[in-house]
Amino acid sequence: MGLIQKNTVVLIIGGNMGDRVQLIAETTNKLIDRVGSLNKSSSIYETAAWGGNSEGAYLNQVLVLDTSLSPNQLLETIQNIENELGRVRGEKWGNRTMDIDVLYYNDLVISEEHLKVPHSYLPERKFVLIPLAEILPDQIHPILKLSNRELLTRCQDESSVDIYQKSPT
C-alpha cells in the first residue's frame, strides 16, 4: 500500500447572509469530513463588504487543514460544499451564504483558469491578511517572498476588520 500524500491547505471561509456563525460552524464541519483534519483556525472576524456588490457585514475565518486531496479535487469539494450551503454564483463579489477560497496549498504556485494559488487578491485584502497573520504570521508567500505579517503591514486596504469571536485554539 502506497503512502498517502499529506498536504497543508489554507482556506478562508465566510459569508454575509443567513446565520453567519452557524454557517461558519457547518462549513468547518463539512471541510473536516471531506477535506481533512483541522490544524488551526483563526478568530472569526467581521468585515465590511469588499468589492462593492454586496450588502451587510461578512464573517470570515481562516482554517488550516491537512488533506490528501489534489488541488483540483479540493476545489471541486469546496464548490460542492458552497452549493450545499446555498451559494448562488450570481454577480462577482455579490451577497453569499458561504464562500470558500484557497489561499495556499503547501507552497505551490498554481495558475490555471479556474484555480489560482496563492489566491490572487490575498495581498490586497485586510480581511484575509489579519486572520492569516494571526495564525500563520511567518508563512512566506511563494511568489512575493514576504511573510503574511509583512504583507499585512504593506496592505493598502483600509476596511475595518474586527474580531467577532476569538479563536478557541
Residue 1 lies in a domain: no
Nearest to residue 97, comparing CAs of 138, 142, 59? 59
Distance CA 39, CA 42 (A): 10
* CATH number of the domain enclosing 141: 3.30.70.560
φ, ψ for residue 150, nearest 5 deg: -65, -40
8 A C-beta contact, residue 114 and residue 75: yes
Rounded Cα distance between 33 and 92, Å, is: 28
At residue 168, does pLDDT exceed 90?
Answer: no
Place of cell 480581511: 127
Residue 150 corresponds to which cell in the numbers above? 509583512
Active site residues: 87, 96, 99, 101
DSSP 23: H
Query: 163: which 3 cell numbers?
Result: 474580531
Whether residue 134 lies inside any domain: the answer is yes
| Domain presence at residue 2 | no
Q: What is the pLDDT of residue 52?
A: 58
Quickly state the pLDDT bin for 110 (edges 50, 70, 90): very high
Ranking 2-6, 57-61, 117-121, 132-136 by mean pLDDT, the lowest is 2-6
For position 167, what pLDDT does the model report? 78
DSSP state of 2: P
**Total domain count, the chain:** 1
Q: What separation in angstroms does the CA of 147 have from each of 14, 16, 24, 163? A: 23, 28, 26, 22
Please indicate, yes or no, if residue 126 is contained in any of the structural domains: yes
- Of 20-34, 36-50, 89-103, 127-141, the poorest mean pLDDT is in 89-103
Q: What is the pTM of this model?
A: 0.91
Q: What percent of the chain has pLDDT over 90?
A: 71
Range of the domain at 158: 7-165
Average pLDDT over the chain reads 89
- Model confidence pLDDT, tens digit, residues 75-99: 999 999 998 987 665 555 456 778 8
